A and B are shown apart, each in its own frame.
Chain A
Amino acid sequence: MEIPRHWRINPQRYELIGEECPHCKIKIFPPRDVCPNCGGEAKEEYTFSGRGEVYSFTTLYDGPAGFEEMTPYTVALVKLEEGPVVTAQLTDLGSTGVEIGMPVEMVTRRIRSDGDERGMLIYGYKFRPVGFTTAK
């Protein structure tokens, strides 16, 4: 099991915490040690709003180990309103067809089991269409 690895990344997975560059003020996700825009050292936390739109998407009918039980599932590139693009699954799609440009928002869901026989469950961000609500 990769407990330390998954624990370390919880702020990103649960709250979409990235960085704001103290030098050029650009917003960064995922966090980096050096700002991709100005080359300064990046270390100030910034919590993203979780709102964005679909930049591209695809669907997997066969998943790699750890994701077999979730198939079929849709993965998207989501452009956050603050600028960065993240790779994440779309969820709560119901009968909604996915389109490029569709507004989405972050939710926290189970994203994978650890693959170990003890089955540690891993939670993290997915995105759902804005305005789409379910009973649960």
Chain B
Amino acid sequence: MSEVVIAGIGQFPVGEHWKISLRSLAARAILPAIRDAGSLKPQALYVGNFLGPMASHQSNLGTLLAQNAGLDGIESFTVEAAGASGAGAFRMGYLAVASGYVDVVLVVGVEKYTDMVGPQLEAYTTTAMDYDYEVMAGLTPAAQAGLLMQRYLHEYDAPRAAFGAFPLLAHANGAHNPNAMFRKAITPETYAKAGMATPPLNQFDISPHADGAAAVILTRSSLLPRAGIEQAVRITGSSVVIDRLAPHDRPAPLAFEAAALSVEGACRQAGILPADVDFFELSDVYSIYAALSLEAAGCAPRGEAWKMAQEGVFGLKGTLPISTMGGFKARGNPLGAAGVYQIVEAVQQLRGQAGENQISGARRALVQSLGGPASTAVTHVLERCP
């Protein structure tokens, strides 16, 4: 089997794009990705999206987005896995190319969050939880993170303020990413003074929902145009694992078991250990999720990720950089599109195109997207072509 490679990337800045429609937003990532791949013609388009049917009253995005981008007559449909929708679509693209049935795949993650405003929009994001047994108690995704963080502080006797290390490093990295929603570093004082959200989470522990679109072109290395070989990035590991949907149904809610198993699966396929990667694009949707993801991956002992964060281990100059282009906190959280942004950012690093945030000598990346509190975990290992 010839290797599956990422041949092109495209992204549009995350933000509140009142003037841009869902279909147009997708096109602004799709067209640059196709150009970047040397105009390889996609035979299939897999769309990652979470809220379209609710927030934009639009289903069957596969057809709409393909048509709008001038891709008539191809194969196309949507993959939905809440916040991991984009990563799920990427996994679908990987499987399609690896199977040999499709030569060139286009994956787009797109979320149009600002088509409406108000509490109903917040209610739509709760559809990823157990409606009968979580949502009916008034729980929201942020409150779910609050429950997990409160328990973490209790079990590990961790100081709440220590979690500020995660948003601080994310905002510092976002400052140099032209596609980030927030491009300004924050100080420890700003974090300490932020208003409470769903305690113990404060407002800086929560990533902002926003509009966004990112796209990639996948193909087999043997089909790459000659000029494209140098910048191609190999997909050497791919794994999706689910947990029970609601934390209350899990024997150990802080274990993020699906995240752990999915890292294990992707690394086993790549023939590496998590410690062999040069950086980790994780899902810091909430500060506590960054800590739990690091611990699940085995990159930090249980209950100690916050200590390592304070010591600078996860900064750009640390031994395991995370959220290198700003993560969910500073790049923004375009929900169903986020997973494809993470892949695009990892490719930027592996190609040496990450500008001021470039990790020197970056050869191998671990990329993980979560749907809910690791109810779904999608993990990929990406490597620079030798």
A binding-site residues for B, Cβ under 8 Å: 5, 9, 12-13, 30, 36, 55-68, 70, 73, 75-77, 84-89, 100, 111-112, 122, 124
Contacts and interface: CB of A to CB of B under 8 A. Distances in A.
A30 B119 contact: no
B140 A64 contact: yes
Contacts of A67: 138
Contact of B137 (A9, A56, A87): A87
Given A58-B150, A75-B143, A85-B248, A111 B198 contact: no
Contacts of A85: 248-249
A35 to B, nearest CB: 13
A89 B137 contact: yes
Interface string B238-282: 000000101111000100000000000000000000000000000
A112 B248 contact: no
A57 B147 contact: yes
Contacts, number: 95
B248 A60 contact: no
Given A58-B200, A64-B135, 6 more contacts: A59-B146, A65-B119, A77-B253, A86-B248, A100-B154, A124-B136
A69 B29 CA distance: 40
In this complex, the interface size class of chain B, counting residues with CB under 8 Å from chain A, is 35 or more
Given A65-B120, A87-B246, A87-B248, A77 B147 contact: yes
A36 B137 contact: no
Given A57-B147, A77-B247, A100-B151, A111 B136 contact: yes
A-B pairs, 3 with minimum CB distance:
A58-B146, A56-B151, A64-B123
B132 A9 contact: yes
A100 B123 contact: no
A75 B197 CA distance: 14
A88 B136 CA distance: 8
Interface in B114-155: 118-120, 122-123, 125-126, 132-140, 143, 146-148, 150-151, 154
Contacts of B122: 62, 64-65
B199 interface: yes
Interface string B184-207: 000000000000111111000000
Contacts of A60: 138, 140, 143, 198
Contacts of B133: 30, 86-87
Contacts of A56: 147-148, 150-151, 154
B248 A75 contact: no
A65 B146 CA distance: 19
Given A30-B133, A58-B146, A100-B150, A70 B119 contact: no
A16 to B, nearest CB: 12
A80 to B, nearest CB: 10
B216 to A, nearest CB: 33
Given A58-B199, A89-B138, A68 B119 contact: yes
B270 to A, nearest CB: 32
A77 B118 CA distance: 27
Contacts of A61: 196-198
B143 A66 contact: no
A69 B35 CA distance: 51
A122 B137 CA distance: 11
Contacts of A76: 147
Nearest to B246: A87
A122 B136 contact: yes
Contacts of B200: 58
B198 A58 contact: yes
B154 to A, nearest CB: 5
Nearest to A55: B151
Nearest to B141: A64
Nearest to B155: A100
A112 B136 contact: yes
Nearest to B250: A85
A53 to B, nearest CB: 13
Interface string B212-228: 00000000000000000
A114 to B, nearest CB: 11
Contacts of B139: 75, 87
A57 B148 CA distance: 9
B379 to A, nearest CB: 24
Contacts of A36: 244, 249
Contacts of A84: 248
Nearest to A112: B136
Contact of A58 (B123, B143, B253): B143
Contacts of A73: 138
Nearest to B131: A5
Contacts of A63: 119, 138, 140
Contacts of B118: 65
